[in-house]
Amino acid sequence: MKKLTSLFAALAWSLGALGTLTTAQAADQDLVARGQYLARAGDCMACHSAAGKPAYSGGLAIDSGHGIIYSTNITPDKEHGIGNYSEAQFSAAVRHGVRADGTQLYPAMPYPSYAKVSDEDIHALYTYFMQGVQPVASTPPASSMSFPFNIRWGMKLWNVFFANDKPFREQDGWSAEIKRGAYLVEGLGHCGSCHTPRGVAMNEKASDSSQAQFLSGGDLNGWAVPSLRGMPHWSAQDIVDYLQTGRNKTASVAGEMSLVVEHSTSHLKREDLQAMAAYLKTLSPVASSGSGRVIPQGVDATVSKLTAAKDLTLGERLYLDNCAACHFVTGRGAPGIFPVLDGATVVNAENPSALLHVILAGARTPSTEKAPSILVMPGFAHRLSDEEAAALATFVRQGWGNHAGKVSEREVGKLRAGMDKQH
pLDDT tens-digit series, residues 103-119: 888 888 899 999 999 99
Q: CA distances (Å), 313 to each of 149, 357, 399, in order? A: 48, 22, 12
Q: pLDDT band for position 255 (50/70/90)?
A: confident
Burial of 372 (0-12, 13-18, 19+ CB in 10 A): exposed
Average pLDDT over residues 302-322: 97
CA 66, 67, 68, 73 dihedral sign is negative
Over 80: is that where the pLDDT of 183 sits? yes
Q: Which residue has the higher pLDDT, 15 or 411?
A: 411
| Whole-structure pTM value | 0.88
Q: Report DSSP letters for 28-54, one per residue.
A: HHHHHHHHHHHHHHTTHHHHHB-TTS-
Q: Which residue has the higher pLDDT, 321 or 28?
A: 321
Any known ligand binding at 267?
no
Over 80: is that where the pLDDT of 10 sits? no
What's the pLDDT score for residue 351? 92
Report d(CA 39, CA 189) in Å as an integer. 10
What's the pLDDT score for residue 103? 87
Any known ligand binding at 327?
yes
Closest CA to 118 of 33, 220, 187, 17: 187
The answer to whether the CB of 163 falls within 8 A of the CB of 97 is yes
Q: C-alpha angle with apex 122: 118 to 128, nearest 5 degrees?
A: 145
What's the pLDDT score for residue 289? 55
Any known ligand binding at 423?
no
CA 217, 361, 188, 157 dihedral sign is negative
The answer to whether the CB of 96 falls within 8 A of the CB of 115 is yes
Any known ligand binding at 194?
yes
CATH code matching the domain that covers 177-289, chosen among 3.30.720, 1.10.760, 1.10.357, 3.30.70:
1.10.760
Average pLDDT over residues 166-171: 90
Any known ligand binding at 195?
yes
Q: Give the ranges where 97-220 is alpha helix by DSSP (H).
A: 111-114, 119-131, 154-162, 176-183, 192-195
Any known ligand binding at 233?
no
Q: How far is CA 39 from the centre of its chain?
A: 14
What's the pLDDT score for residue 339? 96
Q: Give the ranges where 225-268 is alpha helix by DSSP (H).
A: 236-245, 256-263
What's the pLDDT score for residue 19? 59
What's the pLDDT score for residue 228? 96
Any known ligand binding at 80?
no
Q: pLDDT band for position 224 (50/70/90)?
A: confident
Any known ligand binding at 44?
yes
Average pLDDT over residues 19-41: 81
Domain 299-420 has CATH 2.60.40.1180: no
Q: pLDDT band for position 145 (50/70/90)?
A: confident
What's the pLDDT score for residue 383? 95
What's the pLDDT score for residue 5? 57
User: Residue 66: phi, psi to the nearest 5?
Assistant: -125, 20
